[in-house]
Structure 1
Amino acid sequence: MSARRRGRLGRGAAVALVAVLGLALFGTALPAWARAETPTTVGSAAVAVNGADAAPGVASAALVVLVAGLVLALSGRVTRVLAVLGVVLGGALAAASAAAFLADPEPALRQAAGAVSGATELVGEPQVTAWPTLALAVAVLAVLVGAALPWLAGSWQRVGRRYETAAAAPSTSPDATTAGTPRTRAMDDWDALSRGDDPSAS
């Protein structure tokens, strides 16, 4: 095996990597991304916003990356290009959504506060968790992996090609022709004996 081939991922490994990135992106959108306090008539109440509400683009991008991984598993050359674009664009969308939230988390928290108390005011500074930063890191990694996929997939064989090649190859060699004939010859000899002929004389 050449060094060039050893340096590339197989189709299965690449599909698994893309799937892991998509699942990781989706997982980062589930926990709370930020917490704050909002005033109420009896004091203050805690509000929290998760990634799916704070940055809806992250969860949507995770689904795009997962679908792209499925397409990558089944694709030929043209659909492989679409899968690569799906991974890159999905990662870019998630990165942009996470970065926008990190730049200004208050709008999402104010919306959550309005659902709790009817007011959109916050008490003190919001507390941002590590999840949006992790989502941003996974999204950037997805973009890098997607950009590298055309090089990684250069030596992949199209799905089903090996079976098509095997089915198209005719078995016309002399060995293949004669391999299955002993039984046929024995039946012919038996028929000759039934007719009163001597098969050994032919």
Structure 2
Amino acid sequence: MIRRARLLCVVMTLLAGATGIISSTQTWLTVTLADGADHVLLVPGASAIPVLAPLSLAVLALGAALSIAGRFLRYAFGALSVAIAVILGTLTWQVAFDPQASHAASTVTEATGISGAAAVSALVGSIGASPWTVVTLGAWILLLAAGLLTLATAHRWTGSGRKYRTDAAAAAPSASRPHDAIDDWDDLSRGEDPTTRPLD
């Protein structure tokens, strides 16, 4: 059950991050300009929320690191996942259910050359959110659940395996075979003097 919890946390985190990255390139808002010609502009997620792409990349990195993290880092990554989920969830909620001209400001300015909050707001005739906003909001809810599950179960996760451990126990040679020259080199790399070892 604990192994499943760890795997579940990693998969949920990676899925949330991947969804955020994909969503950042998709249309989040459709803006109709009040310019007499009713021009329509499509606003991608990365423009509606500038921190969407970088924080989504951070979530992907968290998911990958969580799979090999020690106990202290598990808690740190869990707390960080919760914080990112709350931040991005709040921002995404605003775009999804209360889109404002400010969310499309960069796209409007790029298309028209008009800048300034008041000028952009006056130019925007209507604005509507796409289903991608709701899909991405679901991803942040998933990330929040992953972070909370990590905090609740991290103390019971098993170690990450010998190849990721740096303590003496992981580096020590197996008792089932004799000490050889390779083990002597390993001892030296840890700062130990192999000549002081008792003869077998």
The two structures share one fold, judged by TM-score above 0.5: yes
The amino acid across from 2:85 in the alignment is G
- Cα deviation for residue 75 of structure 1 reads 1.1
1:188 is aligned to none
Tell me, what secondary structure is at the counterpart of 1:37? strand
Which sections of structure 1, spanning at least 5 residues, go unmatched? 1-5, 177-202
1:84 is aligned to 78
Which sections of structure 2, spanning at least 5 residues, go unmatched? 115-119, 179-200
Alignment TM-score, normalising by the size of structure 2: 0.70
CA RMSD of aligned residues (A): 2.7
2-structure distance, mates of 1:147, 1:11: 12
Contact 1:8 1:152 in 2 (8 A): no
1-structure distance, mates of 2:155, 2:73: 14
2-structure distance, mates of 1:113, 1:18: 33
1-structure distance, mates of 2:53, 2:143: 14
1:167–1:10 distance in 2 versus 1, CA, 3 Å: farther
- Cα deviation for residue 122 of structure 1 reads 1.8
Tell me, what secondary structure is at the counterpart of 1:35? strand
Contact 1:35 1:46 in 2 (8 A): yes
Which has the higher mean CA deviation after the structures are superposed, 47-56 or 78-87? Answer: 78-87
Establish whether residue 96 from structure 1 lines up as the match of residue 83 from structure 2.
no
2:57 is aligned to 63
Contact 1:32 1:131 in 2 (8 A): yes
Alignment TM-score, normalising by the size of structure 1: 0.69
Q: Deviations over 1:86-140 (max 9, x none)?
A: 21122112112212323233212244223212342023x2121111122122112
Q: Superposed, which structure 2 residues align to 1:50-199 within 5 Å?
A: 50-102=44-96, 103-119=98-114, 120=120, 121-123=123-125, 125-161=126-162, 164=169, 167-171=172-176
Between 1 and 2, higher relative CO (CA 8 Å, sep ≥ 6) is seen in 2
1:25 is aligned to 20
- Cα deviation for residue 37 of structure 1 reads 1.8
The amino acid across from 2:129 in the alignment is V
1:8–1:47 distance in 2 versus 1, CA, 3 Å: same
Contact 1:19 1:66 in 2 (8 A): yes
The amino acid across from 1:171 in the alignment is S
Q: Deviations over 1:1-21 (max 9, x none)?
A: xxxxx3652544432232112
Q: Deviations over 1:23-63 (max 9, x none)?
A: 012222221111122245x7232111111010123223212
User: Larger C-alpha radius of gyration, 1 or 2?
Assistant: 1
1:158–1:85 distance in 2 versus 1, CA, 3 Å: same
Identity score, percent: 19
